[in-house]
Amino acid sequence: MTSSELRFIPFASRRDKGWNEAWKLYESSFPACERWDEAAYDRAFADPAFTADGVWLDGEFVGLLFHWTHDAFDYVEHLAVSPLRRGQSLGSRILDAFCQGRRVILEIDPPEDEISIRRLHFYQRLGFAANPHDYIHPSFRRPFHPHRLVLMSRPGTLSDGEARRFADFIREHVLRYSEHEHPDLPRIE
């Protein structure tokens, strides 16, 4: 049996093949406070730091990986696998393929229940390290509810300076596409 190759195909607009499937997956995989509205993507598609990849396997849409490129790291903002393809290690394959040769940062909920603990272990198995920094992140939509997240990074943990540069990038660049007008979060405490 041969292993099929994953293909990462960036969306250039909401009219691209697979966007409707990606949008349905996005809406069903993330709570409203962690999502942008669709119009924000119209602006973000033109941002060279942002990439919204559709993930394809043998011509079938199987997931999404929305990420940002900074000169010092790549930030994985959203990763989701089609419900029909979950349990087949596709999330691991997608993330492992993406991370090759990169400094990658992502955020997870604090490991406080069974699901969040399993998520922590998933990322740790893929070589991510939990960082000790106290990281407070805003929601993307009103009403804004700041919440604590855990920064995960690969390879290795972040220095204080790296964590601060990451928080600055989110606040000053990524949040341009949220409902915030003058964000003061995220921050490292």
Give the pLDDT confidence of 135-177 residue by residue, as tens digits.
998 888 888 889 899 999 999 999 999 999 999 999 999 999 9
Q: Looking at residue 1, what is its pLDDT?
A: 39
CA distance 75 to 2: 31
Give the pLDDT confidence of 19-67 residue by residue, as tens digits.
999 999 999 999 888 899 889 999 999 999 999 999 999 999 999 999 9
Q: Looking at residue 123, what is its pLDDT?
A: 97
Contact 170, 115 (CB under 8 A): no
Q: Looking at residue 55, what is its pLDDT?
A: 98
Using DSSP's 3-state secondary structure scheme, residue 74 falls into strand
Q: Looking at residue 184, what is its pLDDT?
A: 87
| 21 phi-psi bin (left φ>0, alpha ψ -120 to 50, beta other) | alpha
CA distance 156 to 162: 12
Lowest mean pLDDT segment, chosen from 40-44, 70-74, 100-104: 40-44
Give DSSP secondary structure letters for 32-49. GGG---HHHHHHHTT-TT
pLDDT band at 180 (very low <50, low <70, confident <90, very high): confident
Mean pLDDT of 3-11: 90
